[in-house]
A and B are shown apart, each in its own frame.
Chain A
Amino acid sequence: MGGRRESQERFVKRYQYLLKKVAWSLFTILFVLVLNFLLFRVLPGDPARAGVRDPRLKKDAIEALRVRFGLDKPVFNCFETLNPIKVGSCTVNPLDTQFFIYVRNLLQGDLGISYSTNRPVGEILAERLWNTVLLIGAGQVLAILLGVFFGILAAWKARTAIDYAALLSSLLAWSLPTFWLGIILLFWGSSHGLPIGGKATPGAGSLPLLQQWGDIARHILLPTLTYTIVYMGEYMLIMRSSLLDVLAEDYILTAKAKGLNTFQILKDHALKNAMLPLVTVIAINLGFTVAGALQIEAVFSWPGLGGAIYEAVVRRDFPILQGAFLMIAISVIVANLLAELTYSYLDPRVQSE
């Protein structure tokens, strides 16, 4: 039957679409891997060279450091070093170059060793990843729920006092530097008995589980609040403008002419269409939300990836910096892919492009 063949075709098209998206994300990850490698080789981040600046190190100690970090090997075929560029032999075994060792180590989950703590970077970051996910997750859910709610309200009541109030407050929230809002909230909170940072009170580990959770909740309150305020405004703005666009469409007039009431029109005709751009924006924004988390973690000493970056910057701990950047970038790319796949599932028009 015709219908059956048609649905088969759509099935194939859908899988081609999925495949294309996944392939593209893999390519982007590869790009990030190369970028990450080059950044730390081209820019003066070479640990041995950083070590050379320390006059107490002896020459053989430097050489030992270089061997330990694999820096005695050529960067890549034909290149001894990249900064300054020093051309070398092109007949080197490609498996014995810094780039290959970097990739191989990554594939094995080996992100190097922290300069400052001498622990494997992968181990340190793995502990911290979940704290960031917890913080972003809680803040993101709250920000989206509240932002969408107020966005719908503002668009529905367009050009009324409600709309203007919502619009102005979200523009204000958007203009707040995340870290500064965090500082102000911390300043206010610490004078009202809230903890001044960290994830748990020292020694709380010996308390009963319920009290431990309560302790964490008290610690995560202000960081989450900061996150929510900053991002809620943005989601509200997007929801508002996207819903306003949809509400001006002809099919909304059709729905009204069909006798549907305002609630039915919003629920059955406007919201799904208006939410579609929001999914894309949430995906694109993931990069920015990570930026927000980085600042919040720095202010509240939250032991997440952002906090790790902050500490690594202060201590010039490049392996941590390199590993954290890689982890964040890959997480954002994967989350982006998921958002795009969600979009294609929600919008029937996407697969037939």
Chain B
Amino acid sequence: MAVQTTEIKPSVPSSPFLDFWRVFSRNRMALVGLFMLIAIIFVALFAHKLAPYDISTSANITLKDIYNPPSAAHWLGTDDAGKDVLSNFFFGARVSLIVGFFAAFISVVIGGVLGIVAGFYGGRVENMLMRFTDVMLVIPDLPLMVVIVALTKPSLLNIIFVIGLLGWTTTSRIVRSQTLAVKSRKFVLRARAIGAGNGHIIRHHILPLVMPLLVVNAILVISLAILDESTLSFLGLGDPTAISWGQMLNFAFGRGAMSAGAWWALVVPGFGIVWVVLSLTLLGHGLEQVLNPRLETHHLTPGRSVIHSESSTVMEAKKTTAPVLLDIREMSIHYQAEGKPPARAVENISFRLHEGELMGLVGESGCGKTTLMLGLLRLLPAAGQIVNGKSYFMKKDMTAMSELEIADVRWKGISIIFQGAMNALNPVRTVGDQIREAIIKHSPPLSRRQLQHVDDRVVELLDLVGITVQHKEHYPHQYSGGMRQRAMIAMALACSPQVVIADEPTTALDVMIQAQILELLDNLRHKLGLSIIFVTHDLGVVAEMCDSVLVMYGGVTAEYGSVDTIYNAACHPYTQELLKAFPDLSHPEKRLASIPGYPPRLESLPAGCRFAPRCPRAISRCASEQPALHMLGEGHFASCHLVEASS
């Protein structure tokens, strides 16, 4: 009942078009381009109203009118035939735009059809069509256009067809690859399964998804067509009855504007071409940014500075005499995006990791586990910021270190085994080379003899994870999935770090390989005396290996304690639900339970307890008030209103 109140409701009515417009209108480049384009289309449409002179007649023109500089009568001067340049410019817009739009239309239709047919039908059809596209792509098209137009009559229609029939190659390639990508998506397969015909699937499922890309490409094709037309006209292959900007330049350049110093006759038409092409370029580029926003940030963008704070809360799950390696106090990390409330990805997390300890960091995807780990090493993406907390590594505060100091801790003090080793290894460097690099980076300058030792060390590391020497100089793509993950582990051990963070090292591997990797990590831990933080969503993994467990939910600590406490005396309903979701061998008859619903979205967290909307035991207070983290006993913490009484 009370739980329902926290349901997320979208506050603004949304439709695909409105959504698009909202993003589009924030892109200044695209807006400027659109405005420029509308302006020139307006000029072309109303050329006959705007032009101060009638350019179709040569009556009343005398020799004195040739190449007159700009004046009150002729704002932009006169040309080689004594005609008004401004009027010519207005009518030229018409011709240039007509050629651009019609030729591009032909190109886009041909390229679109060929691309969709090739991508959709595949097999021999695709092979033939793409081979043909490749051949056409290699043939230089402007010389070919020149040849064809020179051999035929130079009329506007001819020019439109020649440009249109030769300009479709990029379109067909782009559309084909997009069709291929869309074709194997679930909803297309589903539509096919319920018996939808090819025509139906193309019209209702493929086309809508290919369209955005096609529009961006069409804009590019239009601008190319306009450039092509102006070039052909400039070379003297234009329609002599339809004066385009290129034609104006041809006349001016060929008939002495240069020697007459008549810059206006040369500058004005060129300005028109630049205006149109630039408007289309800006619009296309802006649209691409809107439709494909991946270009926003990257790993070298300097991160936001740490907000320093006094944080003194110490929490540990185990009191031992072993020295403390990592001491994290009240760590909070937010993602800040322009015009949006910050996403509170990690809030107020504290824990301690001792030498030789293996801590499990458990929670569903999107709970802030990886963010926390990246935050420790200050590897957050540009939007991420440590807004509170301290993280000590061997008593040194990492949040206060300079870039140089933290670079020294990375890999030598704390290393990370990333999930998905295929992407975490550089595809164009050999595995051995990438391990060698880490060792050399963290050693003092080495002589040639010592470099030989580095090589021995690489062999030793690979041997440690069960990879034989002959694979040392192979590239990642020559490795199997399990081998890549083991190579990643070898790399993580390269500088003998005190702490290894294993970020879901076994996702995307099959069960047998998973077991091998886990066993390997456990062995290495005992052999090398490593301290490990094991990030996982699988409580079962944790049970076998861990000393302590930190359960995260929606960015906060749900429960933290030693492995025995967590398994035998879990207090937080989330931990209890997670435990139910994992098979218990002593009670095989029990049914596995899954937790209904999803973790909260970090930009719109519930007002009260973050787990409340999914919690089977929620009370009315849970919806309104955030529970504090309570200490339940020696090294056992949980944040839940229900445990308050017992603490």
State A9–B416 Cα separation when bound (angstroms): 35
Of the stretches B434-442, B534-542, B601-609, the one at the interface is B434-442
- Residue among A250, A259, A273 making CB contact with B411, cutoff 8 Å: A259
Judge whether A28 and B426 touch: CB under 8 Å.
Answer: no
In the assembly, what is the distance between CA of A265 and CA of B410, in Å? 14
A352 at the binding interface (Cβ < 8 Å): yes
- Given contacts A262-B300, A313-B236, is CB(A187)–CB(B263) below 8 Å? yes
The answer, yes or no, to whether A48 is at the interface (CB within 8 Å) is no
A43 to B151, CA, bound (A): 6
Known: A45-B151, A175-B281. A291 touches B410 (CB 8 A): no
**In the bound complex, CA of A258 to CA of B269 (Å):** 56
User: Cα distance A159–B28 when bound, in Å?
Assistant: 13
Of the candidates B140, B141, B407, the one having the most CB atoms from chain A within 10 angstroms of its own CB is B140
Would you call B146 and A294 a contact (CB within 8 A)? yes
Does chain A have a CB within 8 A of B477? yes
Contact check, A291 vs B424: say whether CB atoms are below 8 A apart: no
> Who on chain B is nearest to A284 by CB?
B137
Contact residues, A154-170 vs B (CB, 8 A): 155-156, 158-159
Given contacts A43-B152, A332-B139, contact A171 B441 (CB under 8 A): no
B47 at the interface (CB under 8 A from A): no
Stretch at the interface among B209-217, B272-280, B393-401, B625-633: B272-280
User: What is the chain A residue whose CB lies nearest that of B149?
Assistant: A313
Establish whether residues B235 and A298, one from each chain, have CB atoms under 8 Å apart when the complex forms: yes
Contact yes or no, A348 B428, CB < 8 A = yes
Binds A, one of B291-299, B305-313, B557-565, B591-599: B291-299
Contact B140–A291 (Cβ < 8 Å): yes
Cβ contact within 8 Å between B231 and A295: yes
Chain B 128-151 per-residue mask, 1 if CB under 8 angstroms from chain A, else 0: 000000110111111110111011
A28 touches B249 (CB 8 A): no
Q: Determine if B141 and A318 form an interchain contact, defined as CB atoms under 8 angstroms apart.
A: no
CB contact under 8 A between A241 and B295, given known A183-B270, A291-B140: yes
Contacts A248-B298, A313-B237: A325 and B282 contacting too (C-beta < 8 A)? Answer: no
**Residues of chain A lying within 8 A (CB to CB) of residue B411:** 257-259
Interface string of A183-223 (1 = CB under 8 A from B): 11011001000001000000000000000000000000000
Q: What mask results when residues 9 to 42 of chain A are scored 1 for a CB within 8 Å of chain B, else 0?
A: 0000000000000001001100110010001100
Task: Please give the distance in Å from A41's CB to the nearest CB on chain B.
Answer: 10
For the complex, give the distance between the alpha carbons of A264 and B173 in Å: 35
* A252 and B299 form a contact (CB under 8 A): yes
Chain A contacts for B146, CB-based, 8 A: 294, 309, 313, 321, 325
A312 to B235, CA, bound (A): 11
Residue B408 lies at the interface, judged by CB distance under 8 Å to chain A? yes
Does A261 lie at the interface of the complex (its beta carbon under 8 Å from any beta carbon of B)?
Answer: yes
Q: Is the interface of A mostly helix, strand, loop or mixed?
A: helix
| Contact A310/B278 with A158-B298, A175-B223 known, Cβ cut-off 8 Å | no
Contacts of B61 in A (CB 8 A): none
Whole-angstrom CA separation of A156 from B301 in the bound complex: 7
Decide: A258 near B227, CB < 8 A? Known: A45-B151, A183-B266: no
Contacts of B478 in A (CB 8 A): 352
* Interchain CB contact under 8 A, B138 and A333: yes
Give the CA-CA distance A319 to B291 in the complex, in Å: 48
Residues from chain A with a CB closer than 8 A to the CB of B89 are: none
* Contact between chains at A287 and B295 (CB < 8 Å): no
Q: How far is the CA of A253 from the CA of B384 in the complex (A)?
A: 14
A85 to B645, alpha carbons, bound, how many Å?
100
A44-B152, A313-B235 are contacts. A250–B420 as well, Cβ < 8 Å? yes
* Complex CA distance for A105 and B416, rounded to whole angstroms: 67
Which residues in B have their C-beta under 8 angstroms from that of A250? Answer: 418, 420, 423-424
Give the total number of A-B pairs whose CB atoms are below 8 A apart.
239
B87 part of interface (Cβ distance < 8 Å): no
Please measure, in the bound complex, the distance between the C-alpha atom of A85 and the C-alpha atom of B234, giving whole angstroms.
34
User: Which of chain A's residues has its CB closest to B423's CB?
Assistant: A250
Q: Which residue of A lies closest to B263 (CB)?
A: A187
A178, closest chain B residue (CB):
B231
Name the A residues within 8 Å of B466 (CB-CB): none
Task: Given A174-B281, A248-B294, A313-B237, verify A258-B438 contact (CB < 8 Å).
Answer: yes
Tell me whether B24 is interfacial, beta carbon within 8 Å: no
Q: How far is A286 from B369 in the complex, measured between Cα atoms in Å? A: 49
Pair B426/A294 contact, Cβ less than 8 Å: no
Count B-side interface residues using an 8 Å CB cutoff: 77
Does B285 sit at the interface, judged by CB under 8 A?
yes
- What 1/0 flags go to B243-278 for Cβ under 8 Å of A? 000100100010000100001001101100110011
**Taking the complex as formed, is A255 at the interface, i.e. its CB lies under 8 A from any CB of chain B?**
yes
- Interchain CA distance A346-B379 in the complex, whole Å: 30
B-chain residues with CB within 8 Å of residue A266 when the two chains form the complex? 300
A interface footprint on B447-460 (CB within 8 Å = 1, 0 otherwise): 00000000000000
Q: Report the Cα distance A155→B151, complex, angstroms.
A: 46
| Assembly CA distance A316 to B151 (angstroms) | 9
The residues of A that contact B477 with a CB separation of less than 8 Å are 348-349, 352
Min distance, Cβ B142 to any Cβ of chain A, angstroms: 3
Q: How far is the CB of B373 from chain A (nearest CB, A)?
A: 10
Docked-complex contact A249 and B423, CB < 8 angstroms: yes
Q: Which of A50-94 contact B (CB under 8 A)?
A: none
A284-B136 Cα distance, complex, nearest whole Å: 11
B381: min CB distance to chain A, Å: 9
In the complex, A309→B296 CA distance in Å? 45
Residue A314 at the chain B interface, CB threshold 8 Å? yes
A104 at the interface (CB under 8 A from B): no
User: Which chain A positions have C-beta within 8 A of B568?
Assistant: none
Given A177-B274, A253-B418, A268-B437, A310:B300 Cβ within 8 A: no
Q: Evaluate contact between A328 and B143: CB separation under 8 angstroms.
A: yes
Shortest A323–chain B CB gap in Å is 11
Q: Which residues of B contact A299 (CB under 8 A)?
A: 253
Q: Which residues of B contact A43 (CB under 8 A)?
A: 148, 151-152
A171 to B285, CA, bound (A): 9
Confirm or deny: A125 has a beta carbon within 8 angstroms of a beta carbon on chain B.
no
With contacts A175-B277, A179-B230, A254-B416 known, what are 14 further pairs, Cβ within 8 A? Answer: A2-B470, A171-B285, A175-B223, A183-B249, A190-B258, A250-B423, A252-B298, A252-B300, A259-B408, A268-B437, A269-B429, A273-B426, A294-B235, A298-B235
25 A-B pairs with CB atoms under 8 Å apart are A39-B148, A45-B151, A179-B234, A183-B258, A186-B258, A249-B299, A250-B424, A252-B298, A254-B418, A257-B379, A257-B410, A258-B410, A258-B415, A259-B409, A259-B441, A261-B403, A261-B407, A266-B300, A269-B429, A291-B140, A294-B143, A295-B234, A318-B151, A325-B144, A328-B143
Residues of B within 8 A of A (CB): 134-135, 137-144, 146-148, 150-152, 223, 227, 230-231, 234-237, 246, 249, 253, 258, 263, 266-267, 269-270, 273-274, 277-278, 281-282, 285, 294-301, 377, 379, 403, 407-412, 415-416, 418, 420, 423-429, 437-438, 441-442, 470, 475, 477-478, 491
Chain A interface residues toward B at CB < 8 A:
1-3, 24, 27-28, 31-32, 35, 39-40, 43-45, 155-156, 158-159, 171-172, 174-180, 183-184, 186-187, 190, 196, 241, 244-245, 247-262, 264-266, 268-270, 272-273, 276, 284, 286-288, 290-291, 294-295, 298-299, 309-310, 312-314, 316, 318, 321-322, 324-325, 328-329, 332-333, 336, 346-349, 352
